[in-house]
Chains A and B, each alone.
Chain A
Amino acid sequence: MSRRYGVWIAAAAILAVLPHIVRTPVAVPVMSQMGIAVVFALSYNMLLGQGGMLSFGHAVYFGLGGFIAAHVLNLAGEGVFWLPVPFLPLVGGLGGLCFGALFGSFSTTRAGTVFAMISLGIGELMASSALILDKFFGGEEGITTNRVKAPTLLGLDFTTDRKVYYLIAFWAFVAAALMYAFSRTPVGRMANAVRDNPERAEFVGYSQRWVRFVSFCVAGLFAGVAGGLFALNYEILTAENMGLAASGSVLLMTFIGGIGSFFGPILGAIVFTFLQSMLSDYTGIWLLYLGLLFLATVLFVPAGLAGILMLHVPAWRAGRPGRLVGPYVVAGLLTLVAAVGVIGLLEMVHFVVSAPASRTTKRLFWVAVNVRTLWSWLAFAALAAAGALGFRWAAPRAAAAFAEASRPAEAR
């Protein structure tokens, strides 16, 4: 038990000191973004990983929670009623919960394909409503708000990025702890049972529909909390925030992180947000790379990043993780070579297609590359091929090292 609390205490400590360690100017906003994504992804995994419900419309609850929170923040700013800014995520959560209950009441009657289709339908419905009901959703521009105008609590204002970060970190921590606790409650356990075998769950006394409905409402609640945090952080909400693309990216980050364990979505949200914010500074086709990452995850590591880490627990327990370093570094470097080749080719294609015809050189990996000569193409193709071939040579060796290291330690 104390070990379990240890993880949470460590997480809280990391959240508290992080802004003091990572001191680049963009770091704090990116970490705030990560905190929001973590809450959103964890709420999504209550459906996908815990409950076996594949939703294509989870951003609806995130977005509605955000819009409601933004309107409430505006009203509080005008002094219509008293609501301190730190409580705003709860307003978002309440909004997410109400709409989760509303839409969940009919969408959770069935699981599987039917559920997925209904979620898609609701997503599209809300996305088009956003353009029609422009009093509430603000049309194409969306609605803006201001976190500084609302009343403060204990003199806390949110005028700097770092203050906002701490507010988001606090709520992300509370939300994650509550979502973990939910997974350990009777209905949370039964969500897993219904995911595995809905028929049998009914023969031990549980209505599969009610179990899914409860999960759905709670997932809506926490998506709404994430939406409320988003409203606080960005002070603007648009229809895009609840559209199909937003629902898609929470699916991507959750899956990349791993839907099989509680911390998978946390990892996925952090990695995804990091890549998103970093890659978009360097390349116009960053979405393509995220798509490739998702594809690679689905094809090669369906258990996600968390799944990969969990695979190494036996090696760690057997006290032999060191034996993996060599083979992994070799395989990793060869993968990197292949990646440089593939990325080079993709970037050159993108450059040829999108840059003005007069420009012939592009900086790639700190080198000026002339895209009008065959040699540059051949060079990157050669890197890709060499890396791939090398990986095919190195992969079985890494796998053998993994099997060797994972053997249970001999009894002494």
Chain B
Amino acid sequence: MTPAIELVDVYKAFGRTAIIHGVSLAIEAGTRQALIGPNGAGKSTLFNLITGKYPLSRGRIRLKGEDITGLRPYEINRRGLSRSFQVTNIFPRLSVFENLRCSALWSRGYGYSFWHLVENARDVRERAETVMEQLNLTARRHMPAGVLSYAEQRALEIGIAIAGGADVILLDEPTSGMSRSETEHVVQLIRQVTAGKTLVVVEHDMSVVFDLADRIAVLVYGEIIAHDTPSLIRANAAVQEAYLGVPQGAA
């Protein structure tokens, strides 16, 4: 089966500083996978490479078998890959509903149309309303997104990523800065909205990682040191060393 995302010897340097050293990784379609690693390992950079925010220095990236190396973010999004951001990245002056409606427009085929009125686009409205319901934001429908609470903005951040109905979804630290109960709610939400899709999530909260992921990739200093099921990752000596600084059994 063709992997949803396939990285082949991906390499990225900023000036002389190499951040990603030849990463090769295949994300199987229809799985939920977590990307973990210490701070500064290059997790967000890897997301930015996959989604077209940064150009690669070397290597290829394929999405569902199709080469997307060097494409612009909007071209990659149109091929069915969507992402959220670690730092909330919404449309602050647009209402909650408008944020979601704008995110659903392209995938419903409206493109750059100036011959449709959005009020008459029932499919887009219904999609935005469904997502708004899933996010628990229906009561905030008309509020500008910029005035929502932090947790609500984080939820909307995920909503913008999923509203277009992409089948490959990348979430960058969706639970960062959230309380225990908010985190639980978001994990449940992620589980619900990514059912049957491919999910890659960067996450620091290990309980979330082990709860959500079918497979875990561990990135350390720009290299994938392990890519396995949660139980095998837990037992992996190299991973323990990277996280705890001691090899298994040394203490």
Mark A residues whose CB is within 8 Å of B: 181-182, 184-190, 192-193, 195-197, 199-207, 210-211, 214, 218
Partner pick for B101 among A189, A195, A196, A199, CB 8 A cutoff: A189
Q: Given the complex, which residues of A lie within 8 Å of B164, measured CB to CB?
A: 204-205
Do B82 and A203 touch (CB < 8 A)? yes
- Closest Cβ neighbor of B73 among chain A residues: A202
Partner pick for B114 among A187, A197, A202, A207, CB 8 A cutoff: A187
- Closest Cβ neighbor of A193 among chain B residues: B102
Q: Would you give the shortest CB distance from A222 to chain B, in whole angstroms? A: 13
B98 beta carbon closer than 8 Å to chain A? yes
Mark B residues whose CB is within 8 Å of A: 51, 53, 72-74, 77-78, 82-83, 85, 89-94, 98-99, 101-103, 105-107, 110-119, 121, 160-161, 163-164
Given contacts A203-B73, A203-B77, A205-B164, contact A189 B117 (CB under 8 A): no
Do A214 and B89 touch (CB < 8 A)? no
16 A-B residue pairs with CB within 8 Å: A185-B116, A185-B117, A186-B105, A186-B116, A187-B114, A190-B105, A200-B91, A201-B74, A203-B73, A204-B163, A204-B164, A205-B107, A206-B106, A206-B112, A210-B112, A211-B112
Given contacts A186-B118, A204-B82, contact A197 B74 (CB under 8 A): no
- Closest Cβ neighbor of A215 among chain B residues: B114
Do A184 and B117 touch (CB < 8 A)? yes
Q: Given the complex, which residues of A lie within 8 Å of B102, measured CB to CB?
A: 189-190, 192-193, 201, 204
Q: Given the complex, which residues of B lie within 8 Å of A214, measured CB to CB?
A: 112, 114
Q: Work out how many contacts link A and B, with CB atoms closer than 8 A.
A: 102
Partner pick for B92 among A182, A197, A203, A205, CB 8 A cutoff: A197
Given contacts A204-B160, A205-B106, contact A189 B118 (CB under 8 A): yes
When chains A and B are docked, how far (Å) is the Cα of A200 from the Cα of B118?
20
Q: Would you give the shortest CB distance from A188 to chain B, in whole angstroms? A: 7
When chains A and B are docked, how far (Å) is the Cα of A283 from the Cα of B118?
48
Do A182 and B103 touch (CB < 8 A)? no
Do B77 and A205 touch (CB < 8 A)? yes
Given contacts A202-B77, A204-B102, contact A182 B114 (CB under 8 A): yes
Do B119 and A184 touch (CB < 8 A)? yes
Q: Given the complex, which residues of B lie within 8 Å of A182, measured CB to CB?
A: 114
When chains A and B are docked, how far (Å) is the Cα of A186 from the Cα of B107?
12
Do A203 and B72 touch (CB < 8 A)? no
Q: Would you give the shortest CB distance from B204 to chain A, in whole angstroms? A: 22
Q: Given the complex, which residues of A lie within 8 Å of B121, measured CB to CB?
A: 186
Q: Given the complex, which residues of A lie within 8 Å of B119, measured CB to CB?
A: 184
Do B116 and A197 touch (CB < 8 A)? no
Given contacts A186-B113, A193-B102, A218-B114, contact A204 B77 (CB under 8 A): yes
Q: Given the complex, which residues of B lie within 8 Å of A201, measured CB to CB?
A: 74, 91, 102
Do B72 and A204 touch (CB < 8 A)? no
Q: Given the complex, which residues of A lie within 8 Å of B112, measured CB to CB?
A: 186-187, 190, 206, 210-211, 214
Closest 8 pairs (CB-CB, A-B): A205-B106, A186-B110, A196-B91, A202-B73, A204-B103, A193-B102, A205-B77, A185-B114
When chains A and B are docked, how far (Å) is the Cα of A186 from the Cα of B101?
9
When chains A and B are docked, how far (Å) is the Cα of A210 from the Cα of B101?
19
List 18 additional A-B contacts (Cβ < 8 Å) besides A184-B117, A202-B73: A181-B117, A185-B114, A185-B118, A192-B102, A193-B98, A193-B102, A195-B93, A196-B91, A197-B90, A199-B89, A200-B90, A202-B72, A203-B74, A203-B83, A203-B161, A204-B106, A205-B77, A205-B105
Q: Would you give the shortest CB distance from A119 to chain B, in whole angstroms? A: 22
Q: Given the complex, which residues of A lie within 8 Å of B78, measured CB to CB?
A: 205
- Closest Cβ neighbor of B109 among chain A residues: A186
Do A192 and B74 touch (CB < 8 A)? no
Q: Given the complex, which residues of B lie within 8 Å of A195, measured CB to CB?
A: 93
Q: Given the complex, which residues of B lie within 8 Å of A202, measured CB to CB?
A: 72-74, 77
When chains A and B are docked, how far (Å) is the Cα of A399 from the Cα of B82?
46
